Amino acid sequence: MKVGLWRIAHARSGDKADRADIGLFAYDAPTYEVLKREVTRERLAAHFADICQGTVEIWPLDNLLAVKIVLNAALQGGAARSLRMDSLGKAVAARLLRMEIEAPADLPRLSHPSARPRESGDPGPSKERTGFPLSRE
Amino acid sequence: MKSVRIGAGLGFYGDSWRPVRASIESGGVKYIASDHLAELTLAILQKDRQKDPNAGYARDCVPMLIELWPLAAGRGVKFVMNAGGLNPHGAREAVARAFREKGYKATIAVITGDSISDRIDDLQVRGETLAHMDTGADIGSVRERLLFANAYLGAAPIAEALAQGADIVITGRVADAALSLGPIMHELNWRWDDWEKLAQGLTVGHLLECSGQASGGNFGSAGEWAKVQNFLHLGYPIAEVSEDGSALLTKAPGTGGRVSFDTLRQQLLYEVHNPHAYFSPDVVLDMGTLHFDDKGDDRVRITGAGGAKRPDTLKVVAGYHDGWMGLGQIGFSWPDAYLKCETSANIIKGLIEERGWALDDINIEYMGYNALLGANADASQRDSLNECFLRMTVRTKDKRIAEGFSRLFPWLGLSGPPYAGGLRGSERSRELLGLWPTLVRREAIEPGVAIDVEAVA
């Protein structure tokens, strides 16, 4: 089934000159195997076609259940000359979490409360959903 | 076993030092490693220095030390900070002046030798090409427009300054992680070719260099970020590094945030290229063998960093003038919020065309729709937005055009689409800087590194 990465993984991005870099992290080992298989350079290049003018590099890290991703020539030459609102590429990881991949329907993480599909008008995280009191509560 | 506790200071110029109090008062730290220089910060400091030759350092180090030094001094806590920016001596003078007014005493070291902007010709004569690290381009294309050029120094001069009795070490550009690795090397006396221990120290420094990002801040996720408790009193990360190289990452008791496998691995890979060869001046780190053991209660034990011999070159980042940016903005409410923004963008483009303005680039973003997500925004939401803001930016060689661009926008308020607000129509132009990363042999730079220790009383 098609699954948005946001349901099964977390991610952070940053900048080094003209390079945007992303760490993509599975919450568990079965999900990591799916990420390694599905998050390919070709799919990333297509997903980031509007910003990435260079090559895409990836390194899987078994010890961290993580995939390191680098988008070369993706920040309009770098933050100090970028015209974009996201000059530092901080939201590039959010863009990645919007990517859809093929995942088995019985992937354990998919039954986690935070992985529940969000419909239009969904109120987002809540105490009931996260099983935690929230910072705002 | 001997160990040292280091707390994170700032993560960038402008960050808050409020959380550092808890690390000093109840976190048991002996050092605060404070990173004031993001990659583009030297560009900001260069603009300050152009206006005032005594400026060019991260000014926030003065109020930070004025507030924290009384807490730190009595506990023997020392500071290592790269707040010197382009003018480390200027930073010390400002701190010393403020300390004298308050009657504070401290021994303050200044480390210089990272700046090579006045040595470009000399370095080229000595055979350094200064070619662009990624593209291989010749520096001649930007040579006349260079505004600064600084090497990333390592931990050795910091350790040496501490050995000479410094309470506060102020550096210019150093590798961010060296701010922690310096005190670690000073306290634990590891050999400078013990690559595996150095790699552990580098890992710790890298985890601490972005303040709250290792303790629950900017935890990039859907839903899970909201489980992070008490952002208001988020504690900055603290590392306890042992003589054998193992490290415990934690934060001060009672503070908010979270130190866990999840929050730490996000920071570990942050702004890293090849994770199997993370270069620093002191060691090359392989993250592929690291082991994070999450003990719960905001405690994570770190072992297993792979280390390889330090590189023969140091990274230098130079900045060069690259035109001017102009910015204008206007927002609209429902109905047809996006369409009104798009209509306005077309009007602005028409005005530019009528004036015959020469632009190198134009950037159009719709805040509330795609300003952060770009082409990955959900297009199905576009035509039903409650409100939307048009943000337009231009790059041009002509400062007057950049300055005038913003002033195209106010007219839209009375003569454009209805229900406008959030106008930014009188913005100043902003100088744009290109960054030029390159490599220089360390023998060409290190002989120029100087440590100057002085007691302020």
List, in order of start, the domains of chain B with CATH numbers: 3-114+152-311 (no CATH), 318-435 (3.30.70)
Of B224, B371, B391, the CB nearest to A114: B224
Measured between beta carbons, the chain A residues lying within 8 angstroms of B322 are: 77, 80-81
- B163 vs A119, more confident: B163
Inter-chain CB proximity A66 and B265 less than 8 Å: yes
* Number of neighbouring beta carbons within 10 Å of residue B125: 9
Q: How many CB pairs under 8 A join A and B?
A: 184
Best residue in B40, B263, B269 to probe A by mutation, most A CBs within 10 Å? B269
Render pLDDT for B358-371 as a digit per residue (tens, 0 to 9): 999 999 999 999 99
Alpha-carbon gap, residue B160 to A94, rounded angstroms = 42
Q: Where are the alpha helices (DSSP H) in B246-331?
A: 261-268
Inter-chain CB proximity B266 and A85 less than 8 Å: no
Inter-chain CB proximity A15 and B271 less than 8 Å: yes
Q: Which candidate, A48, A31, A4, A52, places its Cα nearest to that of A107?
A: A31
**Fold assignment, A2-75+85-103:** Gyrase A; domain 2 (3.30.1360)
pLDDT bucket at A128, cuts 50 / 70 / 90: low
Instruction: Name the minimum distance, in Å, from the CA of A95 to any CA of chain B.
Output: 6
Inter-chain CB proximity B361 and A19 less than 8 Å: no
B153 contacts B181 by C-beta, under 8 angstroms:
no
Continuous segment of H or E residues that includes residue B202: helix B195-208
DSSP of chain A, one letter per residue?
-EEEGGGTEEEEEEEETTEEEEEEEESSHHHHHHHHHH--HHHHHHHTTTT--S-EEEEEEGGGTEEEEEESS-STT-TTT--STTTT-TTHHHHHHT-EEE--TT-GGGGSGGGSPPPTT-----HHHHSS--TT-
Q: How far is CA B254 from CA A119, B15, B19, B294, B298, in A?
A: 37, 21, 12, 19, 11
Least confidently predicted of A105-109, A127-131, B187-191, B247-251: A127-131
Measured between beta carbons, the chain B residues lying within 8 angstroms of A15 are: 39, 271
Inter-chain CB proximity A135 and B365 less than 8 Å: no
Measured between beta carbons, the chain A residues lying within 8 angstroms of B289 are: 63
CA atoms within 13 A on the CB side of B1: 10
Q: Which candidate, B411, B412, B370, places its Cα nearest to that of B391?
A: B370
Instruction: Name the minimum distance, in Å, from the CA of A136 to any CA of chain B.
Output: 8
Measured between beta carbons, the chain B residues lying within 8 angstroms of A98 are: 373, 376, 378
Measured between beta carbons, the chain B residues lying within 8 angstroms of A63 are: 287-291, 304
Average pLDDT over residues A92-116: 95
Provide ipTM, 2 decimals: 0.96
- The answer on pLDDT for A28 being more than 70 is yes
Q: Which sign, positive or negative, has the C-alpha torsion B231, B236, B241, B245? A: positive
Q: How many residues does chain B have?
A: 457
Per-residue pLDDT, A124: 72
pLDDT bucket at A123, cuts 50 / 70 / 90: low
CA atoms within 13 A on the CB side of B396: 19
Best residue in B218, B267, B271, B429 to probe A by mutation, most A CBs within 10 Å? B271
Residue of A nearest to B323 (CA): A81
Inter-chain CB proximity A135 and B231 less than 8 Å: yes
Give the pairing type, strands B284-286 and B278-279.
antiparallel
Inter-chain CB proximity A16 and B134 less than 8 Å: no
Inter-chain CB proximity B266 and A83 less than 8 Å: no
pLDDT-flagged residues of chain B (< 70): none
Q: Residue B66, class by beta-carbon neighbours within 10 Å (0-12 exposed, 13-18 middle, 19+ buried)?
A: middle
Of A21, A27, A85, the CB nearest to B271: A21
Residue of A nearest to B434 (CA): A81
Measured between beta carbons, the chain B residues lying within 8 angstroms of A86 are: 371-372, 374
Residue of A nearest to B319 (CA): A80
Of A17, A59, A95, the CB nearest to B274: A59
- The answer on pLDDT for A135 being more than 70 is no
- The answer on pLDDT for A132 being more than 80 is no
Alpha-carbon gap, residue B62 to B434, rounded angstroms = 29
Of B275, B325, B393, the CB nearest to A68: B275
Of B271, B317, B376, the CB nearest to A14: B271
- The answer on pLDDT for A136 being more than 60 is no
Question: Locate tokens 């590392």: which residue?
Answer: B239
Measured between beta carbons, the chain A residues lying within 8 angstroms of B273 are: 16, 19, 21, 57, 70
pLDDT bucket at A113, cuts 50 / 70 / 90: confident
Inter-chain CB proximity A125 and B39 less than 8 Å: no
Residues near B63 by beta carbon (within 8 Å), at least 6 away in sequence = none
